[in-house]
Structure 1
Amino acid sequence: MDEDWTADIDAEPLKSGLFAPVLVLVPPADVGPPLRRVLPGEYPSAEHAKFAALDAFAEMTLR
């Protein structure tokens, strides 16, 4: 990933009342809008979902 890109984690509320983990990739403004990738899984709180997203992000950096 180019150093002009940034990454973040988020949680998306689901209709069930649970939360899904989300990876957010933010490219430079001239490339386009942020890319949100909803990951599999449903968690009881936004904090749990964000930790799951953080785990997925950490795993990606090890590859």
Structure 2
Amino acid sequence: MDEHWTADIDAELLSSGLYAPVLILVPPAEVGPPLRRVLDGEHPSAEHAKFAALNAFTEMALK
């Protein structure tokens, strides 16, 4: 990922009432639309899910 890409985290409410972590990668406009990747896991709150997404993003960045 270069300086023209951005990234964000989010949480998605599941039908179970729990939340799944979401990674969002935003490429330059000429490449295409943002990519939302719902990660495995169910968490009791949106905040917990966002922390899980942040942990996954950090782990990817360290590799």
* TM superposition score normalised by structure 1: 0.97
Query: What is the CA-CA distance between 1:31 and the residue it aligns to?
Result: 0.8
Structure 1 unaligned blocks of 5 or more = none
Query: What is the CA-CA distance between 1:59 and the residue it aligns to?
Result: 0.4
Query: After TM superposition, where is structure 1 displaced by more than 6 Å over at least 4 residues in a row?
Result: none
2:9 paired residue number? 9
Structure 1 vs Structure 2 CA RMSD: 0.5
Structure 2 unaligned blocks of 5 or more = none
- Between the two proteins, what is the percent identity of the paired residues? 81
Matches within 5 A, 1:1-63: 1-63=1-63
* TM superposition score normalised by structure 2: 0.97
C-alpha distance in structure 1 between counterparts of 2:37 and 2:25, whole Å:
8
Q: Would you say how many aligned residue pairs link Structure 1 and Structure 2?
A: 63
